[in-house]
Structure 1
C-alpha cells in the first residue's frame, strides 16, 4: 500500500528513479525520497522490482491508527488469515497457506520475518509500534527464501537508529478497556556517530470483546501484549557495517472466542482458554566489502519461543449441559439397542504447550562494479543458507473429568540451501534476472505414542524475470517463478488412514506480468500485476471427527492432484491536491481444484473438483483518503472489503462477504498530535474462522457450522509526543 500523505511515496520513488535515467527525462526531476524493497538479496526500488509487492510504511500505520498487523492486513491485496487464534498467525497469500497447526511439526507456506528474525508460523507477536515498513511479496520466493515461502513472504522492519537524538511517547485509550503505552529512544552513542541505537517498548491491554456470562467477567478473551525492540548500527569502517536487532515479545492472551449459538460475543465457558506466545530473538547482519571485487552479506538469527494454545472444547459449562437431555443408547449392563433420555454430560479441555528454537545463517557473496561479468553488464551473487528448527510439544486433554489424550513429541528439521542469481542489463531499457535455489531438508519426529518419522528430500526452485522500462514513467515485467514446500507426515492416525501417514512435497509455478507507472499530469501512481499459478501435488489440510470419541479429530495433510489460480493485484494512489490523497488496493482471485475428494465421517466423500480453495476470496479491496489541512487538522477514512470464502477444504461452509469502515480525525503539530479514531464503524459482524462438525451431544453430535467473528465496533483516542 502507498503512503497517504503529502506527496505520494510511490510517485516520489518513480520520479527519483526517472531523474537518475537521463536517457528518458527531458528535464531533471528533483532529488526526492525513494521507496526501497529490502527483502530481496539487494535493496531495490519499488518501481523496478519484478514482483507483485505491497509496501506499507510507518505513516500509513499511524494515519490509520493501527496497533497490530491484524489492523492493516486488509489493505494488502490477496492476503487473508485464519482466525483460529487470538491474533493472526496463519496467513494465506493467493489462497495458499496454513489455517492451523495443532500437532507440532511446523511447515509454513507463508514466510514471516521481523528484522531478519524468522518467525514463520508465529506471527502472533506482530505489534506495529515503531515499525518502519511492511513488505508483502506475493507469489513463490523460490530463489530468495526457499521452502518457507511457497506462497510469499511477509517482511517487517522496525525503525532504524537515527543520527540525532530522538525520543517519543504514545498513549491510547479506548472501548473494550483498551490501554496502550509506548515509547522509543534513538540516537548516536559516540561523538563520531558511528555507533547508533534505537529502543522501543509497547504495552497493549484490552478485554477482548467477549462477555463470559457463566463466569460473570468480560476479560476471558483479553489481550495482554508487550513488545520490546532494540536496534544497533555500527559503522565499523568504510567497508564494514554491522546491524544488530533484538526482540522480546510476551503476548499473554486469553482465548474464549467460540459459542454454540454463534451469537458472537457472549460466551458460556467454565474453563476459558489461552493463546500466548513469548519470544526472545535477535539477528546480526554484516555488510562487508571484502575487496573491490566482492561484497559479503552475512545474516545470523536466533529465536526462542514458548507458546501455548488451549481452549474449552465444549464451549459451555456442566450446568448448561445438565439442563439438556441426551440419548443414552446403552442399558445398565452396557448393552446397545437401548434408548433413554438422561441429562447431558459434556466437559472437554484441550491444552498444548510448545517450545521452539530457530537458528538461521545466510551468507551471500555479491559482485561489485569491478567484478561484473559479460562485458560489465551482469551482477552476480552466490550464497549458502542453513536453518535448524527444534520444537517440542506437550499436549493434554480431559473429557468429562477423565484424562483423554496425552502426547509428548519432539521435532527437528534442518534445511541447507545453496543459491545463485544473475542480473543482466541487456539494453538501456531491458534487464534480465535468473535465479536458482537447491535445498536439502532432513527432519526427525518422535512421540511417546510410538509414531516416528525421518523424511529426507531435495527440492529446487528459482525464477526468470524480464524487466522493461517502457518510458520515463512506466515499467513492466514478465516473471516465471517456481516455489516448493517440503513434504511431511501425519501422526496419531488410525490404521484405516495409513494411506495418509506421509505426504509428498509440493511445487508451485507462477507466471506473472506486472506494470508500474505514474501519470505526472494527474499525480497518480499505480502497481498492477496479473498472474497464473499451478500447484502440483498440492498439500491440503483435512480433518475427520472420530465417530467413537466425538470430542476428538483426526487431523491430516494429503496431496491433492493439483489446482489452478489466476488473478490480479492493484495498488493505486492519487495526490488529488497538496492536502488530499486518495489511495486503494484491489485483489481479484479465482482458484480451482483440478481433481480432489475428501473422506467424510459417514464414509462418503466430498468432491471438491472445480471448487475454490479455502480462505481464497474472489475479491478483496481497500479504499482510503487522507486530508491534512494547513492549520494542522487531519482526517483519514478507509474501508476494507472481502468476498465470502470457504472456511475449509474439509467441508463446503462459507463466510459471508463484508465491508469494514474505519476513521481517524485529529490535530497535528510539529512534535505532538491528538487523534480520535473508530474501527468497524458500522459494527459489521464478519466471520474470520469457521468449523463444521458436531459439538452438541443433545443433538446427537449432528454437524453444524460454528463461526468466530472479527472485532466489533470500537472507539478510542491516541496522543503522540516526540522530542527532537
Structure 2
C-alpha cells in the first residue's frame, strides 16, 4: 500500500552516499603519485564537452555528465537501432516509445513524460547541433556521423533553458575541416537487415570546407499476422537521412551552415492483445513474439527537414555568436490499439487473441509543423579571473495535429472520427552566466535566465467519434507565464587529478495543453519548477589510465506535469502533482585494466516518489490488479500518493569490455561486449501487478579484425544476444495489451576510413 511517509532508503540515502563519497575522495587526494605505468602504457584521452556552451574538459565541469562517442557509439548503434539504443547505456537515462522509431520519450533521473500526444512537452530537452528539437517527432533524428553525445543530468535552465528541468541530451555532428577524409560503413544481417552510412568532407577553398553525411537502414517484417487483415507482417522499416554542412573560416568570422533531412516509413508500434498473464507480470504461456493476430491497419510515415546557421564573430575582448534554426516535420502513424481482431459482442470465435471487448484503431498525423529559433550570445575572451556569457533566445513554433478514428470491423477500415488541434507557441528568454576563480584551486559559477512563454491553442471535433465526442468546438486555451531559472556551483581542485564540486539549480517548464477530444477533452497542466542539489567528485586515476565521475543528488519538483493515460474511461488528461521528490547517485568509470583491456561502467540509483495525498487517476479497464487504494468502492479512481514515477527504474547499470590483440604490424583482433541492466518499472501512474515491467538485461557482442592502423574493419555483431523478451509498455483501457523490446539481431559489418 502507498504511504505518505518516506521510505527508509529515501530518508537515509543522502547521508550514506555522502559518507561513501568522502571516504573515497580523501585517500585519493592524500595518496602519493601512483607508480608509473611505463612509457608505452595506454592512457585515456581527455574528453572535451560543451555542457556550459564552452569547450571544456569534462572533469572541470560541475555537472553530472556522460559523454558517448567513437567506437562505443558505433557499436551501440550497430544493428540499425534508433536513438533508443542509448537507453540504459548511460546512468539515469531511460528512453521508450509507443510509436516505435518515430517518437522517443526521454527520462533522466526518473523525470519524463509518458504522454503520447504529438503536442506533448518533455522535461528532457534534446539539442542537436546547438538547436533545440522541441517536437517529439524531431527528437528521433538518426544517430550517425557524430563527434559525441552528451547527457547532462539535472536542471540546465540557465544556458539551454527550453524545457530542461530534468536535463539535456546533446548531439554534436562531425564538422567540416580543411583535412579531407571520411568513411563508408555497410552491414547486412538477420531479417533482411541492411545498413549503410558514410561521410566525406574536405576543403573547397582556403576558407571554405564541406562535409556530407548519409544514412540508409532497412529491415524486413519479422512478425507474421495470423489473421487475414490489412497487413501480412510487421516490424519492418525503411529509413534514410542526410546532412550537408559548409564551414567558412575567416580571420575574425566563422560560419557553419547545416541542412538535414530524414524520411522513414515502416511499422508503427505493434500492440499485442492479452500477452500478460492475469495476476502476474509474466508473458502468457506459449507466447510467440513472431506472430500476432490483428485486424487494423498499421504503418508509420515520417519526414523531417531543417537547417541552421551558426555564426561567430571574434570582436577582441568578446565573441558574438548567432544560432538560427529552422525545423519542420510531417507524419502519420496508424495502429491497431486493441491489439487483436474482432470484438466480444460479435459472438464467440469472432474475436481474439483473448478477450477483446471492443475494437480500437486510430491514427495521429502532423500535417503542418514549423519551428524557428534564434539565439544571440556574447562570450568573454579570457578576462582573467572572471569570464562570462550572456544572450537572448527566441522560440516560435506552429503546429497542427489530426487525430483519426477508424472502424476495424467494417470492410476497408473506414474513418469514423476526426479531431484537430492547432497551437502557436512563442517564447523568449534573456540569460547570463559567469565563473570566477576565487583561487587557483576554487572556481565559482552561477547564472540566471528569465523566460516568457505564450501559447494559443484551439481544438475541434470535425467528425464525431462513435460513443464519443460529437462535432464541436473550437475549444480555446491561452497561457502566458514567465519564470526565472538559475544555477550556482563550485569546483575545488584537491590536486591536479581530482576535482570535487557542488551544484544547486532551478529548472522550469511552461504550461502544457492536451487536446485529445476523443479521450477526455481539453486539459491543461500548469508550470512546473524543479530544484536540484548535487555534489560529486571527478578524478583522473593511475596516470590517466582511469577516469572517475561520482555524484549524489536530490531534487524536488513542484507541480510536476503528469498525464493520466488510458484507464477504464480511456482518457488522456494532464494533471499537476503537488510534489515529486527524487534522489540517488550516478557513477561513470572508464579504465584500462591492462594495455589491451578497456572497461567502462555506468551505474545509477534513482528513488522517486509522488507526494500528493488527494491525487487520483483512473485505473485500468482491462482486468489488471491495481494495488493502490480506491477513492471509494467502485469509483475506478486510485490514489497515487507515494508511488514511483512511471518509466523510472531505480537501478541502471551499463558495462562494456573491449579486449584487443595486436596482429602483425598494423592489425588488431578485438572483442567488444556491452551489457545493460535496468530494474523494474511502472508503466502508469497507478501501480498494478500486471503493468509493472520486469527488470531487463540486454547484451551486445562484436568480434572483428581491423588493419592498416584501423582504416579497415570487418566485424560480426549481435544485439540483444540473449534474445531477452520483455514487455516495455502497455495499453490499459481495453485488455492486457503490451509492446515489447527490440528482438535479437545479428550481422556482419565492413568499415573503411579514408
TM-score by length of 2: 0.83
Q: Distance in 2 between matches of 1:25 and 1:366?
A: 39
2:562 to 536, 540, 562: 540
Deviations 1:27-65 (A, max 9, x none): 9x9999532112432222101111011100122122445
Partners of 2:558 and 2:49 in 1: CA distance: 30
SS in 1 for 2:59: coil
SS at match of 1:298: strand
| Distance in 2 separating the partners of 1:588 and 1:187 | 44
Give a deviation string over 1:235-290, Cα, whole Å, max 9, x none: 0x221111112211112121251111324442212333223321111111111112
**Please, which of 201, 209, 221 is the counterpart of residue 214 of structure 2?**
201
1:183 matched to 2:198? The reply is yes
Q: Distance in 2 between matches of 1:155 and 1:127?
A: 13
Q: Within the alignment, does 1:687 sit opposite 2:700 as a pair?
A: no
CA–CA distance in structure 1, aligned partners of residues 677 and 264 of structure 2: 28
Query: What do the CA deviations read for 1:506-531 (whole angstroms, capped 9, x no partner)?
Result: 10000000210022258221111110
CA contact (8 A) 2:335 2:363 kept: yes
Instruction: Give 2:24's aligned residue.
Output: none
Match of 1:486 among 490, 493, 510: 510
Aligned mates of 1:483, 1:91 — CA distance in 2: 17
Which residue number in structure 2 is paired with residue 636 of structure 1?
A: 672
Give the Å deviation of 1:366. Answer: 1.5
SS for the counterpart of 1:427 is: coil
Task: Specify the alignment match of 1:383 in structure 2.
Answer: 391
Q: How does 1:618-637 map to 2 (within 5 A)?
A: 618-631=650-663, 632-637=668-673
Partners of 2:224 and 2:57 lie apart in 1 by 48
Pairs within 5 Å for 1:550-565:
553-565=570-582
Per-residue CA shift, 1:529-588, capped at 9, x if unaligned?
1100000111111035465xxxxx321111111011001111101101221111110011
Once the 2 structures are TM-superposed, how far is the Cα of residue 316 of structure 1 from its aligned partner?
2.6
TM-superposed deviation, 1:411: 0.6
Distance 2:152 2:704 in 1: 33
Q: Is the 8 A contact 1:222 1:255 kept in 2?
A: no
Alignment partners' CA distance in 2, 1:123 and 1:494:
25
**Alignment equivalent of 1:398, drawn from 402, 406, 415:** 406
Q: Report deviation, 1:95.
A: 1.0
What SS does structure 2 have at the residue aligned with 1:60? helix
Counterpart for residue 592 of structure 2: 575
Is the contact between residue 617 and residue 639 of structure 2 (CA under 8 Å) also seen in structure 1?
A: no
Of the three residues 109, 133, 136, the one matched with 2:151 is 136
Aligned match of 1:316: 340
1:231 paired with 2:245, answer yes
Q: Is the 8 A contact 1:82 1:100 kept in 2?
A: no
Paired position in structure 2 for 1:13? none
Give the Cα separation in 2 of the matches to 1:424 and 1:351.
53
Q: Report 1:30-41 matches (<5 A).
A: 33-41=45-53
Aligned length: 658
CA distance in 1, matches of 2:676, 2:747: 19
- Whether contact under 8 Å (1:565, 1:589) holds in the other structure is yes
Q: Is residue 720 of structure 1 aligned with residue 751 of structure 2?
A: yes
Q: 1:247 aligns with which of 247, 252, 260?
A: 260
Cα drift, residue 187 of structure 1: 0.8
Matches within 5 A, 1:491-506: 491=515, 501-506=523-528
Tell me how far apart the structure 1 counterparts of residues 566 and 732 of structure 2 sit (CA, whole Å).
10
1:365 to 378, 382, 386: 378
Give 1:508's aligned residue. Answer: 530
1:84, 1:100 within 8 Å by CA — same for their partners in 2? no
Please name the residue that 2:15 is paired with.
Answer: none
Asked whether 1:660 is paired with 2:673, we answer no
Name the structure 1 match of 2:541.
Answer: 519
Q: Are 1:378 and 1:425, in contact at CA under 8 Å, matched by a contact in 2?
A: yes
* SS at structure 2 position matched to 1:163: coil
CA RMSD, Structure 1 to Structure 2 (Å): 2.7
**Deviation digits for residues 477-526 of structure 1 (CA, Å, limit 9, x no counterpart):** 1000000111133435699x89x843310100000002100222582211
Alignment partner of 1:598 is 2:591:
no
Match of 2:283 in 1: none
Residue 344 of structure 1, CA deviation: 8.2
Instruction: State the secondary structure of the residue aligned to 2:144.
Output: coil
For 1:26 and 1:205, locate their aligned partners in 2 and report how far apart those are by CA, in whole Å.
51
Q: Please say if 1:84 is aligned against 2:98.
A: yes
- In structure 2, what is the Cα distance between the partners aligned to 1:574 and 1:347? 54
Give me the whole-angstrom Cα distance separating, in 2, the residues matched to 1:207 and 1:315: 21
Q: Which residue of 1 aligns with 2:312?
A: 287
Q: Shift in Å at residue 345 of structure 1?
A: 8.6
Q: In the alignment, what sits opposite 2:495?
A: 471
The Cα of 1:663 is off from its aligned counterpart by 0.4
* Structure 1 residues 317 and 694, CA gap change in structure 2 (3 angstroms): closer
Q: Is the 8 A contact 2:502 2:534 kept in 1?
A: yes
Matched, 1:413 2:435: no
Q: 1:180 to 1:428 in 2, by over 3 A?
A: same
What CA deviation, in whole Å up to 9, does each residue of 1:294-320 have, x standing for no partner? 210111110111122211123233499
Corresponding residue of 2:71: 59
Structure 1 residue 713: deviation in Å? 1.6
CA distance in 2, matches of 1:260, 1:289: 60
Give the whole-Å Cα distance in 1 for the aligned partners of 2:517 and 2:566.
Answer: 10
Whether the 8 Å CA contact 1:647–1:691 is kept in 2: the answer is no
Cα distance in 2 for residues equivalent to 1:176 and 1:189:
41
Aligned twin of 2:296: 271
Match for 1:303 among 299, 304, 327? 327
Instruction: Give the drift of 1:468.
Output: 0.7
- CA distance in 2 between counterparts of 1:627 and 1:680 reads 20
**CA shift in 2, pair 1:32/1:627, >3 Å:** closer
Q: Structure 1 stretch 535-544 or stretch 254-263: which is displaced more?
A: 254-263
Greater mean alpha carbon deviation, residues 55-64 or residues 658-667 = 55-64
Q: Distance in 1 between matches of 2:66 and 2:47?
A: 11
Partner of 1:5: none
Change (3 A) 1:494 1:519: closer
